[in-house]
Structures are given as C-alpha cells and as structure tokens.
C-alpha cells in the first residue's frame, strides 16, 4: 500500500499528517511506532489522522497517535497543523473548521497564512474527570516521588490530562527525571503530560513539557493552555499570557472558569511524502 502524508510542525512539535478521507488507511500501534522512528521511519512526535466525522455538525474527525502508538484525546499544536492541512488540501474551503475529537469538539480558525487560532474548549478542573486519584477539587495537589520528595502541582484536563509544576527556572527543572516518573505515577490513572512552568510576569511564562507517550517535545499546545489555566487559578497570571516554549511562542487567553481557552500560534509544512507499507 502506498501511503501519502505531509510532514508538519507547530513550534517544532512535529507531526505526520494523513488524509484518511481520500485514501484508505489502517492504523495500529505497531505501524505508528514503526513510522515514528527517526532513524528507520518518517520520524514524528505524533501522527494526525483526518477522517470523516460521525457527528453531522462537525467537518472532520481528528485522531492523534503518540510516537509510542497510544491514541490520545487532544493536541493543540496538532490542531493548528490539522487546520492548515485540510485547508491546503482543499478538503474544506472555509477558514473556520469544526472538528470532532476523542473528548469532544474543537473550533479552528485560520487567521493568517501560517497562523491558526484554536478554541480549545473549557478546561476540566474536577480531579476525578482529569483524571487523577484525588476526589476533592483544589488549585493544587501533592504527591510523593520514589525519592521521597513531595511534588506540588495543578491538575487540568484540556481534553487530555496535565499536571503543572511551578519551578524557579526551566533551565534547571528536573524534566528528565520527574517527567517520566510523574507521567506514569499512580495518581494519574491514564498517565499525564507534565509541565514545568517558570513565571516571568503576570503575562509571560517559560514552559517545558514532558508529553505522555512522546517524552519532552519542543512545544505542547494543550500543555501551554493547562499551564495558563493552572497559573491563573493560583493567582499567578492574568487572562492573556505569552508562553515561551523551546520551539517558540504561543498566545493563550482564558477569562476564567466557564470560559473556553483560546490558543494562537504558528504552523509550518515541511514536506510532502509517500511511503510503501
């Protein structure tokens, strides 16, 4: 089978994007792992699949697979790439695109040639729904690591689970050690994305994210949203925040509980490809 795809990235968070509407595609975990290998495959953080929606009010179904083959609920950088992809391929002619995800709906707005705004929906703050093992809602939670250290974090779902830690500096943050341990910690029954946030001012933060199933990435859109939500709930941030990630900047706006999170950022196409499977 010949599979056509587009390699894209949002701030260095890279994707293999596949049109599963005009070509027949069968995806399983083994295939995703094979294609994600940066030495023997295409190489990517996530695979994005464009499918017909089952919801008649939506334009597309949007599926995301991590490099380890696991299917996940949402990806902010991927959503921006998705919007640019379906517009460039002529699968839709509008600049506002409604997509069905594993955990609900998202609205994508193309606001420039390489700039996309995403209505990410309202964050889920109930710890049971994030999900975590905690039952009482709070702005922060704490747990112990294997080393005996106690870690405090905010818990937010942006369609996928996030823990947000506030650190003095992202340069010295223990991303490589705490990231994988917290990702699969018992307090997160579905695992979690782990964000390390350095607050510069009420309107500016630095962020590194250890993504569930992918490791540390150059940027994480849902992670940026979760960080701003958690920071705002803790009284550290205002409603509009610039999030500096290793791959570049995202603009995040959240007015507070009951409101959607809006994310605006760039997207780039790298190349068109095809591979025999």
Could you tell me which CATH class the domain 141-259 is placed in? alpha beta
Angstrom distance (rounded) from CA 19 to CA 16: 10
Asked if 9 and 39 count as a contact pair (C-beta separation under 8 A), the reply is no
What is the per-residue DSSP string for 211-226? ETTTEE-S--HHHHHH
What residues act catalytically? 75, 220
* Per-residue buried b or exposed e for 131-154, using 16+ beta carbons within 10 Å of the residue's own CB: bbebeeeeeebebeeeeeeebebb
- Indicate the pTM of the whole model: 0.87
pLDDT tens for the chain, 277 residues: list them.
899 999 999 999 999 999 999 999 999 999 999 999 999 999 999 999 999 999 999 999 999 999 999 998 888 899 999 999 999 999 999 999 999 988 778 899 999 878 999 999 999 999 999 999 999 999 999 999 999 999 999 999 998 999 999 999 999 999 999 999 999 999 999 999 999 999 999 999 999 999 998 899 999 999 999 999 999 999 999 999 999 999 999 999 999 999 999 999 999 999 999 999 8
Q: What is the CATH number of domain 2-121+266-276?
A: 3.10.310.10
Domains of the chain, by residue range, sit at 2-121+266-276, 141-259
């Amino acid at each position: 089978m010949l599979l056509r795809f587009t390699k894209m990235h949002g701030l260095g968070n890279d994707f293999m994007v596949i049109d599963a509407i005009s070509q027949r595609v069968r995806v399983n975990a083994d295939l995703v792992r094979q294609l994600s290998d940066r030495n023997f495959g295409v190489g990517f953080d996530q695979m994005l699949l464009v499918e017909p929606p089952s919801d008649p009010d939506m334009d597309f179904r949007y599926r995301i697979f991590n490099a380890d083959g696991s299917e996940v609920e949402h990806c902010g950088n991927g959503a921006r790439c998705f919007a640019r992809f379906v517009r460039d391929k002529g699968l839709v002619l509008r600049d506002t695109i409604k997509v069905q995800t594993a955990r609900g709906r998202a609205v994508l707005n193309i606001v420039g040639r390489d700039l996309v705004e995403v209505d990410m929906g309202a964050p889920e703050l109930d710890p049971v729904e994030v999900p975590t093992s905690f039952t009482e809602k709070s702005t922060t939670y704490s747990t112990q690591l294997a080393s005996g250290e106690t870690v405090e974090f905010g818990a937010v779902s942006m369609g996928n689970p996030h823990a947000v830690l506030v650190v003095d500096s992202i340069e010295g943050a223990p991303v490589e050690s705490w990231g994988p341990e917290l990702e699969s910690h018992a307090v997160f029954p579905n695992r979690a994305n782990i964000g390390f946030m350095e607050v510069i001012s009420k309107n500016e933060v630095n962020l590194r994210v250890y993504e569930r199933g992918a490791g540390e990435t150059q940027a994480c859109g849902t992670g940026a949203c979760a960080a701003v939500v958690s920071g705002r709930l803790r009284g550290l941030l205002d409603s509009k925040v610039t999030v500096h990630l290793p791959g570049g900047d995202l603009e995040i706006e959240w007015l507070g509980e009951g409101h959607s999170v809006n994310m605006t950022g760039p997207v780039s196409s790298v190349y068109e490809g095809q591979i025999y499977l």
